[in-house]
Structure 1
C-alpha cells in the first residue's frame, strides 16, 4: 500500500492524464476514435514467454495478474494457460496449467499459499484451457470451473487443505457413447471445450466454446443437463463472454476471423463482425452494453461501439510492429477507461 501511494505521488500527472485525455485529431474523423498507449509491463523472467491470460483485481483496480506459458522449450516448469482473480475475495487467484493441474493461490502472504490438484485428486490429463470462479453466497465454499483438452469440464470446491472436484461434462465420454444412444432430439457434445463463460444472471447456466466451432449452453441445475447448441463458427472458438449489462446477450470469437453477437436461445447470430484475421479473445465493457473489444493474432486491437456503428469499428490500433508477433488476450478495467492487452513477451 505504501509503495502504491508513493508511486501515485511521484507519477501523479501520468496516472491522472488518461482520465481526461482527448485526441485533437478526433475533430477530423467522424465516429472514429483511437487508443492511447499508456504503459508496457515486462520482466526479465518473461522475455521468452507468451502472455496467456489477464485478470484485473476486483477490489484494487490498479492491480492485475498476468500468466505466461512457455512457447519453445524442451525442459521447463509447467506453463500457466489461464488465470483469474476471485470476484469478491481479492487475494484469491486460480490458475490452470499446461500439465493439467489447477492451483488456487492466496496472495496475502509474502510466500503465497496454494492448493493444487494431483493425480489422485482429479488432475486433468491435458492442458487446462480456462478457469473461471463461481460467484458464491457468504458462508459458501469457494468454487470454480475448469475446461481442459482432455474433454473434461470440472467444478472444483476449495477446502481448507485440498481441492475436491466433480465432473460436470465429459466431451470424450459423450463422443464415445453417442452411437449407442438412439434419440432424434439428443444433442451430441462433439469436439473439446476450449473456453467457458458463466451467465451473470444465473450461475447454473454455462456457455462453452468448442474446437469444432460450436457453442453449447448448459444448465447444470437440471438433472439432465439441458443443452442448447449454437452453430457458431467454422473453426475453433477462442473466447465467449456474456454482456455485463444486457445479461441475455453474449459474444463469441474464433480463428475464422469473426466476432459474433448472440441473444440467448436464438440459434442465429444477431450480427457477425469480420476482423480480417484470427481473433484470439474479446471482452465486453463493464459499464456499456454496446462496447466490445477484441484482439487478433496479427497484433491489432478492435474497439466496436454497436450503438454508433454495427459493422465498422470505432477504433483499430496496431500494437505490434514486429512480424510474427501476436496478441493473445484482452481485459477491460472494472471501472476505468483502460484496456489491458497481452501478447508475446509483454503486457
Structure 2
C-alpha cells in the first residue's frame, strides 16, 4: 500500500486580479487569470476603485525627454531653462540600400554603373557618319505678286529719235548744272555725258577736258566698268531722290519700331493706380557715329539738348568734352538734329571746328540754330541745309574762355533784327546782333563776385517801362526791406511810397526788393567799389523769364544766382546768395505757371527754389550727389525733374509729397555719367544725355503727370453750365497756379517757424 501524502502546511498565496489587464482583454478560450502578488509598498485599491474607467490620452510629448535642462546665457549673464527639447523617440532604425553620391565609395559605384558600353568598331563594314558629306535637299519656293502695270503706246521709234532724246537730256543736264552748281558752269561733279555728233549716241563717254587720272578717280567706285545712273542726275533730281530715301527710311523705322511707337502713344503703367510713385519707360536711343562724321575714333559727351519750338518731334544734341585739361588742342566736334520718327540716323549733322557747349533754337525762325563753342566763339547755322551763316572772331569780338550759354533775346523776337546773349566763364555777358552778314557786339557786361546783396541798385520795372534810361528810373521811390517782405507794416509803407512816386511824370511799376538798410546812394557807391575790387565770376547758364521778356537769370561758378535786365546792363535786379549754393550752379529753370519762381541746381548736391521777392531760398532739396541739371515741369506746376551725375532721374511733386521723391530711376549705364536732361513741352517725354554721346528718350507714367483736371458736370439740364475745351483748359491752368501758390505759402510759413527768414 503506497504511502499517503501528507497535507501541506503552507498557506496558499493570495492571488488577485490585476487592475491593469481586464478579463475581456484575454482570449476567449483561456482561463481567468489569477490574482497577482503585490508588494507591501504597492498601492492597494478597492474593487470599486478598480472598476472605475480610466481615460487614456495620447500626446506628442516624449515621456523620456528631459524637461529641466538649464543653459547659461552669456548675453543676460544668468542661467535659463531651455524649453526647446527634442520630443522624437526612435523605436527602430533601419538603414536603406541607398548611398550618397558625394561619398567616396558611392561615387565610384555610380561611375561604374554609369559607364557606357564602348562601341566595338568593325574594320570590314564600319562607317563613321561624321565623315560623310551631307547632300542638301532641293527646295522650291515661290512668291505670288501682282503683275507689273503695263501700258500700250504708239509712236515712231528709230535711231534718229534716240539720238534727239539723248541730245535733249544732255542740254537739260548742262542747264541744271549751271543753275544748281556753285555758279561755275562746266565744273559739276557729273561725269556721265552722252556722245556728241562724232560719237555713237548709245555709248557712255567720260567728261570733256578731263585727264586720264581724273577719269580713273571718278570711276573708281563704279562696278563692272559701268557708271551709276545717279551720277547723271541734276541737283533738283538729287533732292527728289534724297527726299524719297528719307521717306523710305522713316517707313522702315515705323515698321521696325511699331511697338515703341505704340508705347509712346498709348502706354500707361497699370501699377500707378495702386501706388503714388511713378516710373519712366525707355523708348528710343539716339547716337552719332563720330568715326564716320569726324573721321576719328572718339567718344564725346552730350553737352546740350533742346527740343525744337515749332517741330515738336525734332531736337538738337550738341557734343563737347568737359575734360578741358586733357589736351591743349581744340578737337573738332558736331551737332546732330534727330527726329523721333527716325532713330536710325540724324536728320542733319553739322560739323564744327571745336567742341560745342551750348545751343539755342530761334523761337520763330525754325531754321536758325545758335551755338556756343569751346574756344570762345559764337556761330550761327542754318539747320535746313547745314550751312554756316556767321561766326565770331577776334576782329568782331569774342570771349576769352568757353561759351557756356547762348540765348536769343525774347524782347526782340518779333522785330527783324537777330539779337542774342552769350555768357562765358570769363565773367562777361555779351549782347550781339546780326546786321546783314556781319556779327556785331552791342554791349559787354562784366559780372563781379562780391558775395553780397549790394548788387541790387535798381528797381524792378515792368516790361513796358524796361526801355527807360537808368537816370530816369532813379527818380522812382523804392522800398528797401531788411526782413520779411510780406510784413503788413512794411507793405503799407511801400504802398504809401509808391503813391507818392505815381505823381511824377514817370509811370513805372516798382516792386519790392531785398536790399540792405543803408541809404540807396551809399549802397550804390559801395557796390561800385566792391565790383571794381572783386574778381570776375564765371557764368554757366542764362535763362529768360517766360512772362517778362526783359528779365533773365544767370548762374555763376561761385554759387550765386542773379536776376538781370536787358535795359540796365550795369546793374543787377536781384542777387540770391543768402543760404545759397556753395559750389558752381550748373542749371536754372523758371516756372511756367508762376514767373516769380525759379529753381537752381549745383555741385553742392542741392536744388534750391527761389522767389523773386525773397533773398533766401523758399525750399531746398538735398540729393546727396552732384546735380547735373534740373527743370520745372511744363505740365505740372509743383513738379521738378533733376538729373544726378551718377545717372539717376529724380522727380519731385511737392503737392503730393514734399520730403520724398515720386520717382528715382537709373537712366544711363553705370559706366556713363549723366550730363543733360531736356523735357518736352508738348509731349510727356524726357531726353537724357550721357558722357558716352548717347541720348535716351523716356516717357513719364501717369503718376508723374498729375495735373489739375476739371471735368464736365454729370447733371444735364437747361440750368447746368457746360464748359468748352478752352474753358476747361483755363480752369485747369488756374488750378495748377492755385496748387503752386499753396505750396509757396506753406514753404514761407515753414521757414518762418524754423527761423530761416
TM-score (norm 2): 0.43
Aligned partners of 2:628 and 2:644 also within 8 Å:
yes
Matches of 1:228 and 1:279, distance apart in 2: 24
| 1:51 shift after superposition | 0.5
Matches of 2:413 and 2:356, distance apart in 1: 28
| 1:171 shift after superposition | 2.2
Matches of 2:267 and 2:644, distance apart in 1: 26
Matches of 1:219 and 1:250, distance apart in 2: 16
| 1:306 shift after superposition | 2.1
Q: Which ranges of structure 1 fall in alignment gaps of 5 or more residues? A: none
Q: Deviations over 1:213-233 (max 9, x none)?
A: 111111231375343110120
1:201 lines up with 2:476 in the alignment = no
1:258 corresponds to which residue?
A: 606
* Aligned counterpart in structure 1 of residue 278 of structure 2, from 16, 33, 38: 33
Aligned partners of 2:445 and 2:569 also within 8 Å:
no
1:50 corresponds to which residue?
A: 301
The aligned runs of 1:223-302 (5 Å cut-off) are 225-231=571-577, 232-302=580-650
Q: Cα gap change, 1:224/1:83 in structure 2, threshold over 3 Å: closer, same or farther?
A: closer
1:210 corresponds to which residue?
A: 556
* Aligned counterpart in structure 1 of residue 310 of structure 2, from 42, 54, 59: 59
Matches of 2:658 and 2:607, distance apart in 1: 12
Q: Deviations over 1:148-183 (max 9, x none)?
A: 0111101111232121122342126999xx9xxx94
2:403 corresponds to which residue?
A: 128
| 1:121 shift after superposition | 0.6
1:147 lines up with 2:423 in the alignment = yes
What SS is found at the alignment partner of 2:588? strand
Aligned partners of 2:303 and 2:675 also within 8 Å:
yes
Aligned partners of 1:54 and 1:84 also within 8 Å:
no
Matches of 1:137 and 1:128, distance apart in 2: 22
| 1:248 shift after superposition | 1.2
2:662 corresponds to which residue?
A: 314
Aligned partners of 1:152 and 1:172 also within 8 Å:
no
Give the greater-gyration-radius structure (CA).
Answer: 2
Aligned partners of 1:150 and 1:172 also within 8 Å:
no
| 1:260 shift after superposition | 0.9
Q: Deviations over 1:130-165 (max 9, x none)?
A: 111222343331221111011110111123212112
The aligned runs of 1:107-186 (5 Å cut-off) are 107-109=383-385, 111-135=386-410, 136-171=412-447, 183-185=522-524, 186=526
Matches of 1:342 and 1:86, distance apart in 2: 22
Q: Cα gap change, 1:314/1:222 in structure 2, threshold over 3 Å: closer, same or farther?
A: same
1:20 lines up with 2:266 in the alignment = yes
What SS is found at the alignment partner of 1:36? strand
| 1:201 shift after superposition | 1.7
Aligned partners of 2:586 and 2:601 also within 8 Å:
yes
2:361 corresponds to which residue?
A: 85
Structure number with the bigger relative contact order (C-alpha 8 A, sep ≥ 6) is 1
Bigger CA drift: 44-53 or 239-248?
44-53
Say which structure is richer in strand. 1
Bigger CA drift: 124-133 or 135-144?
135-144
Question: Considering only aligned residues, what root-mean-square deviation do their CA atoms show, in Å?
Answer: 2.4
Q: Cα gap change, 1:330/1:223 in structure 2, threshold over 3 Å: closer, same or farther?
A: closer
1:326 corresponds to which residue?
A: 673
Q: Which ranges of structure 2 fall in alignment gaps of 5 or more residues? A: 1-242, 292-297, 333-353, 455-520, 696-757
- Count of residue correspondences: 339
